[in-house]
Amino acid sequence: MLVSLSNVSFGYASDEIFRGLTLQVNAREHLGVVGPNGHGKSTLLRLIAGTLAPESGERSVRRGVDVGYLRQSQEFPDDTTVHDLLLTAFPEILETERKLDAVHAQMEAGDGSDETLQEYGELQHRFEELEGYALESRADALAAELGFGPDDLARMAGSLSGGERARLELARVLLREPDLLLLDEPTNHLDLWQTERLERRLAEFPNSFLLVSHDRAFLRATCDGIVEVERQGATRFRGGYESYRRQRGARLRRALDDYVRQNERIEKTEDFIRRNIAGQKTKQAQARRKMLERLERVERPQDVWEAARHLGIRFEEGEHPGGREMIRARGLTIGFEGKEPLIRDLDWTVYRGDRVGVVGPNGAGKTSLVLALLGRSRPLDGNAELGYQASPGYLDQKLQLGLHLGRSLLDEVRSLRPDLTIEDARSELGRYRFLGDEVFKTVGGLSGGERCRLSLLKVALMPHNLLVLDEPTNHLDIPACEVLEDALCEYGGTLLVTSHDREFLDNVVSKILWVEDGHVREFDGNYSRARKKFAGEAEESVAVDRPPAPSERSEPKRGSARREESKKRRRERQRAQNRLEKLEKDIAEFEARSKELQELLAADPAGDWERLHALANEEQELRARLDRRYAEWERVTDQLGED
């Protein structure tokens, strides 16, 4: 055990977030924390980190455990460089380096005394002993992964933007390699490339971590367990994200079955009591009444994810689909005056019905390109124009365009659609989960997720045959992302979307526009297909540039070695296939026995409490065995998929 919460309760004012929460984090666990917005995921991390004190219950930490915590917002001193701030977790190394520099300056000034030379040697030895040189190279490599080049390392930390601060803090906690790493939305300010590098780093992380994320692909790649936050508590699930989804569905079905079964039994018992309370079986009826009074009622299971999915997002394309060319760019050069252009001489056309995802590193010019294509910004050269009867709906990444912060939500909706009555406007807001008195909130007081929902509502209030969405999933939880995906899949118009969410891109687009290093390339298919093709082309270019070595042209045994390797792979695949069949057989048998046990547990024990206890133990053990089979099933299917 590294950290545990035992029977913890916590809330803000009258809003109780956790009641009786118990959770333990053990060594070498890689856990993801999921749940709809507002259910306490960040609060859970703060309770584990110790930055929040529970109102009741206990937080325990094993002696000597180092906990690193990535918050969603950071404040840094103005007078410290990025490089020095990276290393602040290692004060002795920094102090030794400072002394080394001071003594070196003395020597440069002509001090060659034995004392000075000895001091310099001792300091240098201590610096090497502390692995100072290795630490600096590790820090530089990690900073580069997160977008900080040599020039950035020399900048003052106070000059960093919000996104840069988040990436710097992420680098600092990763560099420490604490026993327990707590990450709150670590991919929020990362591009696709940086996210994939972080995935690889976390997959190989030797210690434990607990991370909050709405990025489904990221959760799949990094976590071997999931903690779901719901209904003032938290539930742990073994296995990765897909295993969690299956287990969660099965758990909800079992809970609903238990609820229905108990209610049926209660109704039968109450009917027996009504019919016999005054008859010959009065004593039996009275006994059953007492039993009902003592019975612990099963609550109807509430699916918080399904509740969070209650969003009425729907986009209408209107009566006219637009011309064949929806957007046309010719010789388009975009960027900022006095600087090297981000994109130069682009000739590109968005055709009616296209579903395009724009991807690329941070700073590559994706948003600038979108604004130029829509005519919302002036290019450095060339032109872009909308096609015949193109009617664009635009969602900006910062969620500021077209929103009036001082208005109420009701007034904001009616400013765009004055034809709507107050009741109609309230109904539209209700479809986007703004209920009751929430419609009188001011726009400026909304959270990021609420502002995103309002912006999507405003786009959806009018028909558009062209939707241009800049990072639409940034502030949405997983259920809202899935609803948005469904709405976009049903939308019949033309779609142009920028996103860092790989699963979202895979589900909604059929073409990728790849923007990187001033170049723009188009790929057919979703993001995953484009990524593979892009990587394959890079490998091909390396192979073409490098002529084969003589040994590669004339090695006679290479063909036989390849055949042996191929045979080995086939044998391994067959073993995996056989194991998969055995696992599926076990799972089917265990599920059938579990259903039998649940029926036996729900039946009248007839006073045989020892047998009831044995059945409960068997059912609990069976569930654990099922979880282990599902986890292995997931590993084997992943292995077969990779082959």
**CA 412 to each of CA 109, 419, 422: distance values in angstroms, whole numbers, following the listed order:** 69, 13, 12
Largest CA distance in the chain: 114
What is the C-alpha separation between 223 and 238, in angstroms, rounded?
10
Please give the C-alpha separations between residue 242 and each of 218, 221, 393, 474, 588, in angstroms, as whole numbers.
12, 11, 34, 22, 18
- Side chain identity at 605, as an amino acid letter? P
Look at residue 99 and tell me if it is in a domain.
no
At which of 239, 269, 287 does a domain end?
239
Q: Tell me whether residue 558 is in a domain.
A: no
Q: Tell me how many domains the chain contains.
A: 4
440 DSSP 8-state letter: G
Six token digits for residue 491: 């939308």
Neighbour order of strands in the sheet with 3-12: 15-25, 3-12, 56-61
Instruction: Say if residue 222 is in the same domain as residue 298.
Output: no
Q: Tell me: do 217 and 152 sit in the same domain.
A: yes
Bridge partner residues of 523 (DSSP): 512
Is 8 in the same domain as 73? Answer: yes
Domain match, 416 and 445 both: yes
Which of 526, 541, 556 finishes a domain?
541
Write out the two tokens for 37. 């917005």
Residue 425, both tokens: 């406007």
CB distance 97 to 42 below 8 Å? no
Name the domain boundary from 308, 337, 353: 308
| 549 is a domain residue | no
Report yes or no on 202 lying in a domain.
Answer: yes
Q: How far apart are CA 118 and CA 299, in angstroms?
A: 75
CA distance 508 to 355: 7
DSSP conformational letter for 515 = E
The confidence score (pLDDT) of residue 111 equals 87
Q: In this structure, are 233 and 258 located in the same domain? A: no
Distance, in Å, from the CA atom of 148 to the CA atom of 163, rounded to the nearest integer, reads 12
What is the residue-wise DSSP string for 64-119? T--EEEE-SS----TTSBHHHHHTTT-HHHHHHHHHHHHHHHHHHTT---HHHHHH
CATH number at residue 9: 3.40.50.300
The reported pLDDT for the residue numbered 555 is 37
**Which residue in the block uniquely carries the two structure tokens 């649940």?**
598
On whether both 295 and 348 belong to a single domain, the answer is no
Give the C-alpha separation, 3 to 48, whole Å. Answer: 7
**Half-sphere exposure of 427 toward its Cβ, with a 13 Å CA cutoff?**
5
pTM for this model (two decimals):
0.77
DSSP alpha helix (H) spans, 380-526: 409-416, 422-431, 448-460, 478-490, 502-508
Q: What residues in the chain have per-residue pLDDT under 70?
A: 72, 537-575, 577-578, 580-581, 584, 602-607, 609-610, 612-613, 630-631, 633-643
Q: The tokens 């380096």 sit on which residue? A: 97
Helix (H) or strand (E) holding 511: strand 511-516
Same domain flag for 430 and 518: yes
Q: How far apart are CA 105 and CA 319, in angstroms?
A: 76
At 130 the three-state DSSP class reads: coil
If asked whether residues 577 and 480 sit together in one domain, one would say no
Phi, psi of 347 (to 5 degrees): -110, 115
Q: Is residue 232 part of a domain?
A: yes
The verdict on residue 105 lying in a domain is no
Q: Let me know whether 268 and 185 are in one domain.
A: no
Q: Hey, what are 154's tokens?
A: 């020399």
C-alpha span between 515 and 527 (Å, rounded):
13
CA atoms within 13 A on the CB side of 47: 29
Place of tokens 């682009």: 346
55 and 200 share a domain?
Answer: yes
In angstroms, rounded to a whole number, what is the distance separating the alpha carbons of residues 221 and 610?
45
| SS3 label, residue 519 | strand
> How far apart, in whole angstroms, are the C-alpha atoms of residue 343 and residue 365?
7
In a domain, 381, yes or no: yes
Residue 40: domain span? 3-90+130-239
How far is the C-alpha of 56 from the C-alpha of 7, rounded, in Å? 7
Same domain, 303 and 338: no
> Both 232 and 250 in a single domain?
no
